[in-house]
Amino acid sequence: MKTVHNFNAGPCVLSKQAVNASMEALKDFSGTGMSVIEVSHRSKEWKAVMDETEFLWKELLDIPDGYKTLFLGGGASTQFMMVPFNLLEKKAAYLETGVWAKKAAKEADFFGEVIRVASSADKNYTYIPTNYDIPKDADYFHITTNNTIYGTEIHTDMDSPVLLVADMSSDMMSRPVDVSKYGLIYGGAQKNVGPAGVTFVIIREDILGKVTRKIPTMVDYRTHIKESSMFNTPPVFSILVMNETLKWIKAEGGVQAINKMNVEKAALLYNEIDRNTMFTGTAEKMSRSIMNICFVMSEPYQNKEEAFMDFAKSRGMVGIKGHRSVGGFRASLYNACPKESVLALVECMQEFEQMNK
Ligand SMILES: Cc1ncc(COP(=O)(O)O)c(C=O)c1O
């Protein structure tokens, strides 16, 4: 297999250990003589995986009592609808920090009044707005903690006067989170915690049952809590890979240790972007994400974009093209992206500078 440096934005690089262990389970799951995709999801062997996965989430994030973790299908995009369906009685507040946040707010429009407290659309979402008021009578305040496309991130667990709801699709498990500050956290797994196909939800149970509307069974969180994410057939293989990914995070020293490495990796690349005259970071410094690092060619090197892309490709870099809506470059340094890959990209940028001076 050829060696590459995988900077894909999601689906993305996963730990080799998790991938290899999942391959074993594809062949023979838990000594059953069957593949994990052949066994009943009601079997005791599968139930053990579900229980362990939930246990690992609780342990790694230090989730307090009163919260449930769910593993559902539908992606984060389905949560854009499920959140207001279950929580929005009259009014909700949303912080618009990018396209995903905007899409989430749009779904809430179907259910009640939506206040967009602030938006960074004026500068193509290159910063996280800071001065805004959250209406005290809102049912909840929704944030997107990491904006995958623009490389901006809310780095701390904020205080909110109303229930805080967060889309953590692209920074979950990249740093310790004070779960007690949130009523609900959700995300697609396909960045830091597994493959596409499984969506995680962490929810404080007592916030449910407050809206007066009728909620169809499949989109009612209470259904999935009652049935421990097994109301219908769960995405077994995706959950299995997630389970192996969580075990790997634990073996690496947990979320705190992973965060230390993430901060270090991001600093390496940002330092090079700031030093190298050929490149410029696009996100405002205070808002820079440690997960997705976006940059462009500086003046007067804009015409070198394709040349750098080709050069980087020839050195094994994969997935560094910026999102089609912003252009330039984006390197996603998720948990499983090794420091060696970041060093290889930095070296590539340095060599390219030498070649063009
Ligand atoms: C921050 C964020 N929210 C939501 C989504 C959409 O996730 P899904 O494809 O699981 O619906 C993405 C996808 O990249 C994302 O980055």
d(CA 72, CA 239): 9
Q: Which atom of ligand 1 is nearest to the CA of 145?
A: 1
Cα(77) to centroid(ligand 1), Å: 6
CA distances from 149 to 32, 105, 280, 330 (A): 42, 17, 16, 8
CA distances from 152 to 75, 76, 280, 287, 327 (A): 21, 18, 15, 5, 15
Q: Is the CB of 144 under 6 A from ligand 1?
A: yes
DSSP string across 191-228: TTT--TT-EEEEEEGGGSS---S---GGG-HHHHHHTT
- 337 and 230 in a common domain: no
Structure tokens at 140: 């909840």
Chain position carrying tokens 């984006």:
330
Q: Is the CB of 322 under 6 A from ligand 1?
A: no
Q: With respect to residue 1, please indicate whether it lies within any of the assigned structural domains.
A: no
pTM above 0.85, yes or no: yes
- 265 and 217 in a common domain: no
Of 233, 251, 269, at which residue does a domain stop? Answer: 251
Q: With respect to residue 214, please indicate whether it lies within any of the assigned structural domains.
A: yes
d(CA 294, CA 277): 15
- 209 and 149 in a common domain: yes
Q: With respect to residue 301, please indicate whether it lies within any of the assigned structural domains.
A: yes
- 201 and 329 in a common domain: no
Residue 110 has what pLDDT? 98
Residue 228 has what pLDDT? 97
- 311 and 178 in a common domain: no
Q: Is the CB of 22 under 6 A from ligand 1?
A: no
Cα(169) to centroid(ligand 1), Å: 6
**What is the count of structural domains for the chain?**
2
Name the residue of 99, 125, 128, 170 whose CB sits within 8 Å of the most ligand 1 atoms, as the mutation to test its pocket: 170
d(CA 323, CA 294): 9
Q: With respect to residue 9, please indicate whether it lies within any of the assigned structural domains.
A: no
- 267 and 221 in a common domain: no
Cα(14) to centroid(ligand 1), Å: 17
* Overall average pLDDT of the 253-274 stretch: 98
Q: Is the CB of 188 under 6 A from ligand 1?
A: yes
Cα(93) to centroid(ligand 1), Å: 20
Q: Is the CB of 100 under 6 A from ligand 1?
A: yes
Residue 44 CB contacts under 8 Å (≥ 6 apart), including other chains: none
Query: Residue 187: which domain range?
Result: 16-251
Q: How many CB atoms lie within 10 A of CB 17?
A: 15
Q: With respect to residue 299, please indicate whether it lies within any of the assigned structural domains.
A: yes
Instruction: Enumerate the active-site residues.
Output: 100, 167, 191
Q: Is the CB of 341 under 6 A from ligand 1?
A: no
Read off the pLDDT of residues 214-249 as tens digits, 9 standing for 90 and up. 999 999 999 999 999 999 999 999 999 999 999 999
- 235 and 303 in a common domain: no
Q: Is the CB of 167 under 6 A from ligand 1?
A: yes
Q: Is the CB of 150 under 6 A from ligand 1?
A: no
Residue 132 has what pLDDT? 98
Phi-psi region of 75 (alpha: psi -120 to 50; beta: other; left: phi over 0): left
Chain position carrying tokens 């097994």:
230
- 295 and 329 in a common domain: yes
* Overall average pLDDT of the 20-44 stretch: 98
Structure tokens at 134: 């959250």
Structure tokens at 37: 């995709």
* Overall average pLDDT of the 270-293 stretch: 98
**How much is the mean pLDDT over the chain?**
97
Q: With respect to residue 2, please indicate whether it lies within any of the assigned structural domains.
A: no
Read off the pLDDT of residues 42-76 as tens digits, 9 standing for 90 and up. 999 999 999 999 999 999 999 999 999 999 999 99
Cα(211) to centroid(ligand 1), Å: 26
- 280 and 235 in a common domain: no
d(CA 280, CA 283): 9
Q: Is 281 helix (H, G, I), strand (E, B) or coil?
A: strand
- 226 and 312 in a common domain: no
Residue 2 has pLDDT above 90, yes or no: no
Read off the pLDDT of residues 100-156 as tens digits, 9 standing for 90 and up. 999 999 999 999 999 999 999 999 999 999 999 999 999 999 999 999 999 999 999
Q: How many CB atoms lie within 10 A of CB 168?
A: 26
Residue 16 has pLDDT above 90, yes or no: yes
Q: Is the CB of 170 under 6 A from ligand 1?
A: yes
Q: For atom 15 of ligand 1, which residue has the closest CA? A: 169
Q: With respect to residue 135, please indicate whether it lies within any of the assigned structural domains.
A: yes
Of 251, 266, 296, at which residue does a domain stop? Answer: 251
- 198 and 266 in a common domain: no
Contacts 24+ apart (CB under 8 A), 44-51: 46/236, 49/239, 49/240, 49/243, 50/228, 50/229, 50/230, 50/234, 50/239
Residue 1 has pLDDT above 90, yes or no: no
Cα(43) to centroid(ligand 1), Å: 31
Q: How many CB atoms lie within 10 A of CB 151?
A: 31
- 195 and 51 in a common domain: yes
Residue 325 has pLDDT above 90, yes or no: no
d(CA 148, CA 11): 12
Q: Which atom of ligand 1 is nearest to the CA of 146?
A: 1
Of 227, 251, 275, at which residue does a domain stop? Answer: 251
CATH of the domain at 172: 3.40.640.10
d(CA 52, CA 266): 31
Q: Which atom of ligand 1 is nearest to the CA of 75?
A: 10
Residue 314 host element (H or E): helix 305-314
CB of 216 closer than 8 Å to CB of 229: no
CATH of the domain at 304: 3.90.1150.10
